[in-house]
Amino acid sequence: MKTFEEFVDHLSARNHLLSESPLDAPALAGTEKSFRKLWESTELSAHGFADEVAQFYELDRLSLPQLVAAPALTAKFTPRFLRESAVFPFESPEGFKLAVADPTAGACVRAAEIVLGGPVRVEIASFEDIATILGERIGAEETARESEANFARLEDDIESLRDLASGAPVVRAVNDMLEKAMELRASDIHIEPFREGLTLRMRVDGLLRAVAAPSDAPPQALISRIKILAGLNIAERRLPQDGAARQRVGHTEIDIRVATMPTQHGESAVIRILPRDRGLLDVAKLGLSPADDKLLSRLLAMPHGLIAVTGPTGSGKTTTLATMLSILNEPSRKILTIEDPVEYEIQGVNQSQVKASIGLTFASALRAFVRQDPDVIMVGEVRDAETASIAIHAALTGHLVLTTLHTETAAAAVPRLLDLGVEGFLLKSTLRAVIAQRLVRILCDRCKRRRLLEPADLSADHRYAAVGLKAGEFICEPVGCERCGGAGYRGRQGIFELLESTDEVYELVGPHADARAIDAAARRGGMTTMIEDAVRKVRAGLTSPAEVLRVTTVR
């Protein structure tokens, strides 16, 4: 093997050494980084220097693409050895090979032969190419090893979490939480992690109420228990998940819908409670006035057309639709529904649930429904133009179609449907009525207080006069007792406005329909607005003026 000093003389003869950086060859010989220092003292690039080394020592020269394509053996060596020695071991059809930048590093070659258990052939590569390939291969291996270790730790964590979630304290905490929700008649349970700990709130009669969080159950274990009940993946904590379950709480069987969401301090969960014995769908319990009750009965007797129920989320639209279906539910009628989710199970009604992941959407279900020979079709919600178009055509072809929309008033449903792409002349032919509604809390019978409305009350809040209340009228207000949990209210009832497609309203339905004009025409035709229906309930002592003003808008 030619010596290092001979290679220095070779470079000097070819005028590659920098004149201002004289090199003391004997001093550098035998040091670990002599070849790197020699390269840094030349005018050559990394590739040019490697070419000179390969030519002088009569060894094969490797390029970076050849190194990338070679089967690496870096896993058999420590990353520190490979980086400090600037060597890259790999395998070829001829046997083991070692790409080096310094062919005089005999100690590295002998170390490689010991590790690989056989002779190693040396080939030349540049310092830069070896650093690049080591960065790629060692970095990937270190990441893979770290991922494997993390995965193993995660698997251990998940199993520990699963065991913890199945333990008696956590199971008891979840059961107690569901029992408390049933006791309070809550519709939803909100479990929210914050920096200070877990916060638990329950929605009772439309408003959230804080309750004591379980103290003997770790937050993560509590969420995991809920996810296990709902059939969700407890290992997935980065994405939202939705699930459902059927649980027995005390002597009652309930359906629950679970939705989880990753937050800054962990996963939050919302549990929607759907008691399975809520099937007492009675029109009298909705809160319709006698006139509106009579009008609804007449509308449901129609053989075809579209009836829409409107209002924001949580305004009782689903309950109203389910009650209407229970009225229509006779052996002589075939009723099909597509809902998201199915909240009320009605015997004799064919109910389907949206599953967007497999393509079962409102629109696709509606297309299939019209081939099932139905008499009544219920669409949980018209969300897009395609669903609106199919629903309108179903109403045109002799079906009674019930659906919901998100609008503030009954009259606003007309421009909303037109905005979804429904032709004005088709809407005229199919729209039979729109029912707008809200839910107001009902005063607790045991503790409500009746008092006279004073002129000072009207002066303090002008909205009393705006809704039609006058001084000298009797109103009832909440007090709070043990029965209502101190809230002063117990239960909710709907306030409604039923817009029927009368002749005057019919003429206003078109491409440029104005909700205010339609509303005015409907009121002239005898429609009672939601605020008027609410004030009627105030005068009857069912609810309070403050509650009415909370949920309705004076117009």
Domain 283-440+490-528 has CATH 3.40.50.720: no
Name the CATH code of domain 156-275 (choices 3.30.450.90, 3.40.47.10, 3.90.1150.10, 1.10.630.10). Answer: 3.30.450.90
Cα 61 from Cα 123, distance rounded (Å)? 6
8 Å CB contact between 513 and 418: yes
Strands 489-500 and 207-211: unpaired
* Angle between helix 219-229 and helix 168-184 axes, rounded to 10 deg: 70
Cα 35 from Cα 552, distance rounded (Å)? 85
- Closest C-alpha to 307, from 218, 402, 378: 402
pLDDT in tens, the chain (555 residues): 677 888 888 888 877 776 544 444 444 444 344 788 888 788 888 888 888 888 888 899 998 888 888 888 888 888 888 888 888 999 988 889 999 988 888 888 888 888 888 899 999 998 888 888 888 777 665 555 554 555 444 444 566 666 666 777 888 888 889 999 998 889 999 999 988 888 999 999 989 999 988 877 788 888 888 998 888 888 888 899 988 888 888 888 888 889 999 998 889 999 998 866 555 577 888 889 999 999 999 999 999 999 999 999 889 898 899 999 999 999 999 999 998 878 888 889 999 988 887 889 989 999 999 899 999 999 989 989 999 999 999 999 899 999 999 999 999 999 999 999 999 999 999 999 999 999 999 999 999 999 998 888 888 888 788 788 888 889 999 999 888 888 899 999 999 999 999 999 999 998 888 999 999 999 999 999 999 999 999 999 999 988 998 888 776
Please measure the distance between the N-terminal and C-terminal CA atoms of the chain and give it in whole angstroms: 100
Q: What is residue 444's DSSP assignment?
A: P
Cα 356 from Cα 91, distance rounded (Å)? 51
Fold agreement between 4-146 and 283-440+490-528: no
pTM of the model: 0.67
8 Å CB contact between 431 and 388: no
Neighbours of 527 (CB within 10 A): 24
Q: Which pLDDT score, from 0 to 100, does residue 78 have?
A: 83
* Residue that is written with structure tokens 């220095």 in the block: 8
Domain coordinates in residue numbering, the chain: 4-146, 156-275, 283-440+490-528
Domain 4-146 has CATH 3.30.300.160: yes
Cα 374 from Cα 377, distance rounded (Å)? 7
Q: Would you call 280 exposed, middle or buried from its count of C-beta atoms within 10 A (0-12, 13-18, 19+)? A: exposed
CA atoms within 13 A on the CB side of 275: 19
